[in-house]
């Protein structure tokens, strides 16, 4: 397969999808055929099929790939070190992200003089988030099949890790099973490749539908909020990660950014880190040269617990809501926001829109009105797409840096 051409096709699909969607939104949404059939049926059906086929691969791929990765490591100590590094990197970059977002938001002060009547306020009812103790208990599945069926990532990761460790410990039987899993893994990767070949159509429909429904109008009353989030996302994606990559691995950052484009488009059009896992694993292994033993572990883990883009939105949203309601935040409040948002990102699932739900937890922490979320729901879809692209970039950057430090990065592939 011509991967280069495919990247170009996917990027073009995104561009034309966006342009067509914006034109439809501006001039043709009154038309029944356009609204009901083209956008409501055709774009919707093709887009949903595309997202579902991505999601379809996540559970089997994470299960198989992670088992292969652990078995290939062949050493539980190494696994512990890998986990420690990943956790440190993920939490560290999230704290950095939210600090950046808060600083920018405090300087620009979005929401001052905001007129709430200028935006359509939608209903928002926050869900209870599970307690910390329950979150820890939930790491272990009652039943691995149930965890798979429900797509619960952390319990699935725990079960797969244990299964891989047992393979290493099981001697000859383990060796035979490991070989089988390696074959399954090769087949799963082919499935990802098949999916990527139809991706331009899926991406086109998803983007066209979103822009046709959203239009640019929704952004207007919230322009300052929207721009601050966008600016922080760009700075984090284009400055923070490349600097970290350079400092910790010495690798060429342009190569990284260029090779991430395709994954970012997937994340952008699906607004789901989870759905992007298959493509991100494939890209970090085949394009960035990371060994499966690292990528199969850090990418799904990152998609589940590392949400820098989401933390950025939460930081800016907190300041925005405080400004709108005329509430002053103290230094202690800002620190509480950094801490809560960093922890919240662990509990945020990599699916569309959860970041907003977790924002309720952050607002509660500093005593801001949770109803404030209703003000920003209108623009959240577009921001969700952008922050998901940043989320998955963070997962890949961590993966590359960790792989380099573990001697599990093939520089010839990386530089190719």
Interacting residue ranges for ligand ASP, rule: CB under 6 A: 271-273, 307, 310, 348, 350-355, 384, 387-388, 391
Residue 160 or 310: the one with the smaller Cβ distance to ligand ASP is: 310
Closest approach of ligand ASP to the CB of residue 29, in Å = 26
Closest approach of ligand ASP to the CB of residue 9, in Å = 24
Residue 14 or 409: the one with the smaller Cβ distance to ligand ASP is: 14
Q: How far apart are CA 341 and CA 157, in angstroms?
A: 23
Instruction: Give me the residue label for tokens 């822009």.
Output: 211
Closest approach of ligand ASP to the CB of residue 169, in Å = 35
Q: Could you tell me where the beta strands, DSSP code E, fall in 207-255? A: none
**Whole-Å CA distances, 152 to 25, 155, 230, 272, 346:** 36, 6, 30, 14, 13
Residue 38 or 157: the one with the smaller Cβ distance to ligand ASP is: 157
Q: How far apart are CA 138 and CA 132, in angstroms?
A: 10
Residue 202 or 289: the one with the smaller Cβ distance to ligand ASP is: 202
Residue 100 or 409: the one with the smaller Cβ distance to ligand ASP is: 100
Burial 181-205 (b: 16+ CB within 10 A, else e): beebbeebbebbeebbeebbbbbbb
Closest approach of ligand ASP to the CB of residue 189, in Å = 22
If one counts every other C-beta atom within 10 angstroms of the C-beta of residue 407, the result is 7
Closest approach of ligand ASP to the CB of residue 243, in Å = 22
In this structure, is the dihedral angle defined by the CA atoms of residues 72, 73, 74 and 76, taken in order, positive or negative? Answer: negative
Burial 4-14 (b: 16+ CB within 10 A, else e): eebbebbbebb
Closest approach of ligand ASP to the CB of residue 348, in Å = 6
Q: Determine contact, residues 262/6, Cβ cutoff 8 Å.
A: yes
CA 296 to chain centre: 16
Residue 249 or 348: the one with the smaller Cβ distance to ligand ASP is: 348
Instruction: Give me the residue label for tokens 């996917």.
Output: 10
Residue 152 or 388: the one with the smaller Cβ distance to ligand ASP is: 388
The CB-nearest residue to ligand ASP is 355
Closest approach of ligand ASP to the CB of residue 358, in Å = 8
Element (H, E) at 81: helix 76-108
């Amino acid at each position: 397969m011509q991967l280069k051409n495919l990247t170009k096709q996917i990027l073009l699909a995104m561009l034309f999808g966006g342009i067509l969607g914006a034109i439809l939104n501006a001039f043709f949404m009154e038309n029944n055929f356009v609204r009901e059939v083209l956008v409501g049926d055709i774009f919707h059906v093709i887009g949903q099929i595309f997202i579902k086929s991505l999601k379809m691969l996540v559970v089997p791929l994470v299960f198989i790939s992670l088992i292969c990765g652990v078995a290939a490591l062949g050493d539980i100590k190494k696994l512990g070190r890998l986990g420690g590094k990943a956790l440190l990197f993920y939490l560290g970059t999230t704290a950095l992200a939210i600090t950046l977002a808060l600083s920018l938001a405090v300087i620009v002060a979005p929401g001052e003089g905001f007129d709430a009547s200028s935006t359509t306020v939608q209903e928002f009812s926050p869900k209870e988030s599970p307690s910390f103790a329950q979150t820890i208990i939930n790491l272990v599945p009652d039943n691995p099949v149930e965890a798979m069926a429900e797509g619960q990532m952390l319990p699935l990761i725990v079960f797969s890790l244990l299964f891989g460790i047992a393979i290493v410990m099981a001697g000859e039987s383990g060796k035979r099973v490991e070989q089988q899993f390696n074959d399954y893994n090769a087949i799963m990767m082919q499935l990802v490749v098949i999916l990527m070949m139809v991706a331009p159509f899926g991406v086109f429909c998803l983007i066209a539908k979103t822009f046709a429904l959203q239009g640019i109008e929704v952004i207007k009353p919230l322009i300052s909020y929207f721009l601050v989030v966008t600016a922080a996302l760009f700075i984090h994606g284009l400055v923070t990660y490349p600097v970290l990559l350079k400092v910790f691995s010495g690798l060429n950052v342009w190569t990284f950014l260029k090779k991430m484009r395709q994954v970012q488009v997937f994340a952008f059009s699906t607004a789901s880190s989870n759905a992007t896992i298959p493509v991100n694993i494939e890209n970090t292994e085949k394009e960035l040269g990371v060994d499966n033993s690292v990528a199969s572990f850090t990418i799904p883990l990152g998609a589940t617990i590392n949400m820098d883009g989401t933390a950025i939105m939460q930081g800016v949203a907190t300041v925005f809501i405080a400004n709108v309601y005329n509430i002053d935040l103290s230094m202690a409040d800002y620190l509480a926001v950094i801490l809560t948002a960093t922890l919240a990102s662990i509990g945020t699932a990599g699916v569309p829109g959860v970041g907003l739900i977790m924002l309720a937890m952050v607002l509660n922490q500093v005593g801001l009105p949770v109803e404030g979320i209703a003000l920003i729901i209108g623009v959240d879809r577009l921001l969700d797409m952008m922050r998901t692209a940043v989320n998955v970039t963070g997962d890949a950057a961590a993966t590359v840096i960790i792989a380099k430090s573990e001697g599990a990065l093939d520089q010839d592939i990386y530089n190719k």
